[in-house]
Amino acid sequence: MKLDHILHGGDYNPEQWLDRPDILEKDITYMKEAGINTVTLGVFSWAVLEPSEGEYNFQWLEDIINRLYENGISTILATPSGARPKWMADKYPEVLRVRQDRQRNLFGGRHNHCYTSPVYREKVAMIDEHLAKRFANHPAILMWHISNEFGGDCHCPLCQEAFRQWLKDKYETIDRLNQCWCTTFWSHIYQSFDQIESPSLVGESAVHGLNLDWKRFVSEKTAEFVRHEIAALRQGGAKQPTTVNLMYDFEGLNYDKLAECVDVISWDSYPVWHKGADIVPALDNGLQHDYMRSLKNQPYLLMESCPSGTNWHGISKLKRPGLLTAASLQAIAHGSDSVLYFQIRQSRGSSEKFHGAVIDHYGGDDTRVFREVKYIGESLKKLSEVAGSEVCAKAAIIYDTENRWAMEDSQGPRNDGLHYHENLMKMYTALKRQGINVDIISESKSLEKYSLVLAPMLYMFRENMEERIEAYVRKGGCFVLGHWSGITDEWDRCYLGGTPYGLMDVFGLRRSETDALYEYEHNSLIPEGGSMFQNEYSCSTICDLLQVKDAQVLMKYGKEFYAGIPAVTKKLYGQGQAYYIGTDAQQEFYDVLCEKLVHELGIERAVSGDIPKDVEVCTRSLGQTEYVFVQNYRNSDMDIRGMELNGELLYGKSKETLHAYETIVLKQKK
């Protein structure tokens, strides 16, 4: 989908206000005033769209789509499958989800359904097809939003049967399954596929291969459900692109599988701000943006974000003035072609009545939040030429959901927290401090286009990862492998004969043992003479003890019985370089490593000088034009003269000072 402007708007629920035409009319005036050009309709509207079985009531929706369109506002139309009407749950209880303890849920909440149920699929397909028939040719419809935030699993008999069939197709014989799952352990051998049940806390939860396969099955079933919905829309004549809205740091599904089904990725971003330095959540959110973009390696959409405070964080703080603009422009900086909010008008009752919105219960445009939304609308107009441009990254970090499933379930050296996310963030932060773009890719993605690839805690190798890393380094790539890597295969079976599996020659070492540290413990990293490091750093969490064969030792441990044992190494292999970091080091260690590697590998930086720690730099490019986004995440002015910024100011006023939470955008020739 190639857009020539940036979408601005968000979720809108007119069905909650059908008895207040005055409010609906006023909303349109306000939306125009705020520069809103897009709304998402129908996300949870099923009970109004089909009040009783087979009786469709679409007129209100058509009226509102028309009124909005007459006023220059397009619609992203959702399928309503995220929550179903009561009549359906009463008549067909099989549509409701069964929990892992095998209890079926009662009607209520949302996302409470079985993806396998033929009845649910039939009902969803019918309403989707009807919606498409009615609206597919309406010029207001930009795209289709499939359901809402897919997630969760169902353990009903229908899902159990589907899981067994999935396993039969995958393994063909029960012997093969037993081998892959290591079921001899604790006498868990299966004699036939019919005996297998999904993992449960009141049953089987200790077979790691089963746990992994169940999550894979759930991901594939969910993807199948998405395809089923899209097929129904196409059947009804819909030609527009499709999207699913994904969630922050969500590990319940392998998002690669959903990305394959849709045309455009979108996601919902709700960072926790103002809990210390805002650059911390900014970078954390930045990583998610990069992950979402990298799923399809193309522009994506910010589908939801909160105009002020949410109502579901532990503490829902208001966004300080300017922060909403910064967070919105951060999305654009990372490759989004939209800034969309949840929600345009705050609902009156139920569980989201206090969630921030563009128009709150007061109902006027003379509010602080409304004024900032309007300011964002004006800003996005100034930046409209950025829409459709690309983000090019020469560095990537491997983040793989299946690896995370395996590692977190593995019962290894630290069950009190592996600090994986923190370690991932340290590597990401170090790269971003260089002002470069970063892709966040799964193990399935090709490494070839990157000059530098970092892989924190790549515990599970799948899809011949070791062969692909070897080939990448041999052909000239620079690969940095973190601690606790290359330990198990795709069923979480430990590799025999030494680790990191298949890469001991490439890295010139073997991980001989792994120590775990208490939260309060630290070890230290001592630089070796002639290494790229000058300083000592502290490290924590996990320490791999390395037995080096022919790698250069860069740092050794400073304490414990393994003081003097190698901890960080480098080996030149083929045309490339292979670094192994055997522990979770302090941030400054990764900063030095990334600074040196970015420089040595000649990865181009958009700014040549020093980037202050509270600043984020991102670039997007269109042909030979490069847009450089520079954002201040400090709630005070900042002198940025040390950054040596080139190009003309497309957005913002000064290349010398950034005000609190201010963004500037420069336009330059590459």
Given the complex with ligand GAL, which of 151 and 413 has the nearer CB atom?
Answer: 151
Which residues, 351 to 410, sit near ligand GAL by CB under 6 A? 352, 355
Residue 29: CB atoms within 10 A of its CB come to 11
For this structure, is 149 an active site residue? yes
The tokens for 669 are 């020739």
How far from 53 is each of 21, 77, 114, CA to CA, in Å? 27, 21, 19
C-alpha 468/C-alpha 456 separation (Å) is 16
What character string, x for contact with ligand GAL (CB under 6 A) and - otherwise, covers 90-129?
----------------------------------------
Smallest separation, CB 147 to ligand GAL (Å): 10
Query: 461 is written with which tokens?
Result: 């190798």
Structure tokens at 307: 């105009």
Which CB, 268 or 284, lies closer to ligand GAL?
Answer: 268
Out of 100, 178, 200, 310, name the contact with ligand GAL by CB under 6 A.
310
User: With contact defined as beta carbons under 8 Å apart, do 94 and 136 qualify?
Assistant: no
Is 304 catalytic? The answer is yes
Q: How far is CA 664 from CA 342, 389, 635, 640, in A?
A: 25, 17, 15, 11
Quick check: 316 binds ligand GAL (CB under 6 A)?
Answer: no
Instruction: Supply the minimum distance, in Å, between the C-beta of residue 138 and ligand GAL.
Output: 24
Residue 199 or 271 with smaller CB distance to ligand GAL: 271
**Which parts of 211-240 interact with ligand GAL (CB under 6 A)?**
none
- For residue 315, the minimal CB distance to ligand GAL (Å) is 15
Are β-strands 301-305 and 74-78 bridged in parallel, bridged antiparallel, or unpaired?
unpaired
How many Cα atoms within 13 Å fall on the side-chain side of residue 620? 26
Output the CA torsion sign for 379, 645, 280, 256: positive
- Shorter beta-carbon distance to ligand GAL: residue 342 or 629: 342
Enumerate the β-bridge partners of residue 584.
540
The answer to whether 135 contacts ligand GAL (rule: CB under 6 A) is no
Distance CA(12)–CA(224), nearest Å, equals: 28
Per-residue DSSP letter, 491: T
Of 304 and 402, which has the nearer Cβ to ligand GAL?
304
Shortest distance (Å) from residue 84 CB to ligand GAL = 15
In the list 120, 270, 537, 562, the residue contacting ligand GAL (rule: CB under 6 A) is 270
Question: 508: which DSSP letter?
Answer: T
Contact 64, 36 (CB under 8 A): no
- Strand ranges in 175-294 using DSSP code E only, listed in sequence order: 242-247, 264-269
Tokens of 558: 């400073």
> Does 445 help bind ligand GAL (rule: CB under 6 A)?
no
Compare residues 222 and 499 and give the one whose CB is closer to ligand GAL.
Answer: 222
Minimum distance, C-beta of residue 11 to ligand GAL, in the bound complex (Å): 7
User: Under the criterion CB under 6 A, does residue 46 sit at the interface with ligand GAL?
Assistant: no
Closest by Cα among 209, 303, 208, 218 to 254:
218
Please, which residue, 44 or 627, has the CB nearer to ligand GAL?
Answer: 44
Token digits of residue 405: 């499933």
CB 96 to ligand GAL: min, Å: 20
Pairing of strands 537-548, 583-585: antiparallel
Closest distance of CB 304 from ligand GAL, Å: 6
Shorter beta-carbon distance to ligand GAL: residue 166 or 250: 250
Question: Does residue 342 belong to the site contacting ligand GAL (CB under 6 A)?
Answer: yes
One-letter identity of residue 208? H
The answer to whether 12 contacts ligand GAL (rule: CB under 6 A) is: no
Query: Among 219, 221, 216, 197, which residue's Cα sits nearest to residue 491?
Result: 216
CA 199 to chain centre: 26
Number of H helices, E strands in the chain: 17, 25
513 beta partners:
545
Q: Does 347 bind ligand GAL (CB under 6 A)?
A: no
Which SS3 state, helix, strand or coil, does residue 540 take?
strand
Size of the site for ligand GAL (CB under 6 A): 9
Q: Cα–Cα distance between 605 and 395 in angstroms, integer? A: 11
The secondary structure element, H or E, covering residue 649 is strand 648-651
Q: Whole-number minimum distance, CB 29 to ligand GAL, in Å?
A: 25
285 is a site residue for ligand GAL (CB under 6 A): no
- Dihedrals phi, psi of 227, to nearest 5 degrees: -65, -35
**Interaction of residue 507 with ligand GAL, rule CB under 6 A:** no
Given the complex with ligand GAL, which of 270 and 629 has the nearer CB atom? 270
SS3 353: coil
Task: Figure out which of the listed residues 304, 402, 492, 584 binds ligand GAL, where binding follows CB under 6 A.
Answer: 304
Contact 335, 620 (CB under 8 A): yes
Longest Cα–Cα distance in the chain: 78
Q: Does 148 bind ligand GAL (CB under 6 A)?
A: yes
In the set 149, 402, 443, 466, the catalytic residue is 149
Q: Output phi, psi for 570, to 5 deg.
A: -140, 140
> Which of 27, 50, 94, 149 is in the footprint of ligand GAL by CB under 6 A?
149
Q: Which is nearer to ligand GAL, 144 or 342 (CB)?
A: 342
268 is a site residue for ligand GAL (CB under 6 A): yes
Does residue 616 interact with ligand GAL by CB under 6 A? no
Of 304, 372, 402, 470, catalytic: 304
Determine contact, residues 648/628, Cβ cutoff 8 Å: no
Residues in 321-340 that interact with ligand GAL by CB under 6 A: none
Q: Between 85 and 456, name the residue whose CB sits nearer to ligand GAL.
A: 85
Nearest approach, Cβ of residue 355 and ligand GAL (Å): 5
Q: Could you tell me the smallest distance in angstroms from the CB atom of residue 114 to ligand GAL?
A: 20
Give the residue with the Cβ less far from ligand GAL, 10 or 85: 10
DSSP notation for 288-324: HHHHHHHHHTS-BEEEEE-SS--SSSSS-PPPPTTHH
Q: Are 480 and 398 in contact (CB under 8 A)?
A: no
Closest residue by Cα to residue 268 from 224, 238, 306, 325: 306
Site for ligand GAL contains 273 (CB under 6 A) = no
Q: Which residues are catalytic?
A: 149, 304
Instruction: Please report, as ranges, the residues that interact with ligand GAL according to CB under 6 A.
Output: 148-149, 268, 270, 304, 310, 342, 352, 355
